[in-house]
Amino acid sequence: MQEDFRSPDGRLEVGFQCNEVKMSHWICNPRVTFDGAVLLDLWPSVHHAWDGDGRLDVEGRLVLHLRRYPAGSSGFDVRIDPVARTWSVVAGTCPEEMERELGKVLRRV
């Protein structure tokens, strides 16, 4: 299971809602907030098929690795700059449905 984490200044927070889908197999849906505003929310049950984990890069931007479950693909990496409110794909191919979700609050660059 994924553990929630914050940026060093505490402005960016990534929380995970984890659900067991099979015996000992967990899917962890991420929620990203910045200064209390939700930038990406995959917690609602409609998004139960998105599993993710994340880290901060050296410039303080969030890199999320997202996988569709149970599609079996290796997933893709998306970089979110919370200050600029932008996102970009850095590895793999982002499905159209996730582009729409990311585009609700963020702008693609």
Q: Per residue in 8-38, pLDDT tens?
A: 999 999 999 988 887 888 888 999 999 999 9
CA–CA gap between residue 61 and residue 2 (Å, rounded):
19
* Model pLDDT, residue 25: 82
Residue 19 identity: N
Band of the pLDDT at 47, cuts 50, 70, 90? low
User: What DSSP character marks residue 47?
Assistant: G
Other Cβ atoms less than 10 A from the Cβ of 47: the count is 16
What contacts 24+ positions apart, CB below 8 Å, involve 75-81? 75/51, 78/102, 80/32, 80/39, 80/40, 80/106
Q: Can you read off the two tokens belonging to residue 51?
A: 């599993």
From residue 52, alpha-carbon distances to 66, 71, 84 in Å are 4, 14, 22
Q: Per residue in 54-104, pLDDT tens?
A: 999 999 899 999 988 877 668 999 999 999 999 999 999 988 888 988 998
